[in-house]
Homo-oligomer: A and B are copies of this chain.
């Protein structure tokens, strides 16, 4: 393990710096025969890319995926799928400040401490640019999961103080993509947009919470005792840039209830075993129970802001960072497809693992 692979059987290994020649990845373990819907993949990439709306950074990223292997006559072959995304718009500009100063909230200092060196251009490996590779692999995972009827949908539930209080089942998630902020409740979406615009005008940034819901997960997925379904989902989400918290089902709110209130009671409906409530988020003992799996992920405000900030340089001397360039006041809308992609990788992996139990 050196940190750039994810999954056991359905396994993504990624590489690439923000301003290097390209980012890319290898997806190993994808079963053969999956039709690789290139339009779908491009659509997923478009959901993640910068510059989609006035709410996000105007920076352009060339998110054209070039597949290099593992696909033949339009289908996966079972061999590793190699892909790259060229870094086209990498303004090899003025890095003199970022080279010598550790930006607050960024990974400049920790990369320098870990490796004794760093590719400082645009944040290098620590840039969220690498999440594009997650979306490529996640899109293929979704194509696999479609064979099982499994759907994964995420949306922005909260931005700063603007919070959507309705539960996923009370919403029409087909609205999610209709607003630039990816909140399916249009009235709340409008308030989120207003908040983000106000924050942007200040040169500041704001975080929020993404809700994700996975339906038609078959009962039985998850590998106790350490690789529990929600433990692996948690790791997947917390590995996304700016993620600070994860909760499955009722999560932190579970604290406010007693066992008698929170236990999900089983019942048989139309010959199918279900639970009356779903506080557990579709998981007991780390294994899916057939109910929808849902979870929430908290994202901090991105560290790049358009305000002067105090910091120190490589020599440990105090300095002031002057804002420049462009920034993303709120990454939540763009994080929605990343959350979905990581969830898809987790579910695909556990789905393959579960096959090994049959004999």
Contacts and interface: CB of A to CB of B under 8 A. Distances in A.
Nearest to A269: B316
A33 interface: yes
B130 A15 contact: no
Contacts of A301: 254, 257-259, 262
A271 to B, nearest CB: 7
A117 interface: yes
Interface stretch (A50-58, A105-113, A167-175, A183-191): A105-113
Interface in A29-44: 29, 31-34
Interface string A86-106: 000000000000000010111
A282 B246 CA distance: 18
A23 B284 CA distance: 21
A298 interface: yes
Interface residues of A, number: 156
A267 interface: yes
27 contacts: A3-B224, A3-B225, A4-B80, A4-B226, A5-B11, A5-B13, A14-B225, A15-B80, A29-B356, A32-B115, A82-B84, A84-B84, A104-B263, A107-B286, A113-B219, A114-B219, A160-B258, A205-B258, A231-B239, A244-B254, A245-B252, A254-B301, A257-B301, A259-B305, A265-B311, A352-B356, A356-B356
A252 B211 CA distance: 13
Contacts of A225: 3-4, 14, 125, 130, 239
A110 to B, nearest CB: 4
Chain B CB within 10 Å, residue with most, of A4, A75, A106 = A4
Contact of A67 (B21, B32, B130): B21
A317 B223 contact: no
Interface in A315-340: 316-318
B300 A15 contact: no
Interface in A234-287: 234-236, 238-239, 241, 244-252, 254-260, 262-268, 271, 273, 275, 279-281, 283-287
Given A247-B246, A255-B298, A271-B316, A266 B226 contact: no
Contact of A79 (B105, B124, B199, B259): B124
A38 to B, nearest CB: 14
User: How many copies altogether?
Assistant: 4
A194 to B, nearest CB: 15
Interface in A11-33: 11, 13-17, 20-26, 28-29, 31-33
A91 to B, nearest CB: 17
A15 B26 contact: yes
A63 interface: no
A180 interface: no
A45 interface: no
Contact of A258 (B5, B206, B279): B206
Contacts of A84: 68, 82, 84
A269 B109 CA distance: 16
Interface string A280-312: 110111111110000000111111110101111
A75 B117 contact: yes
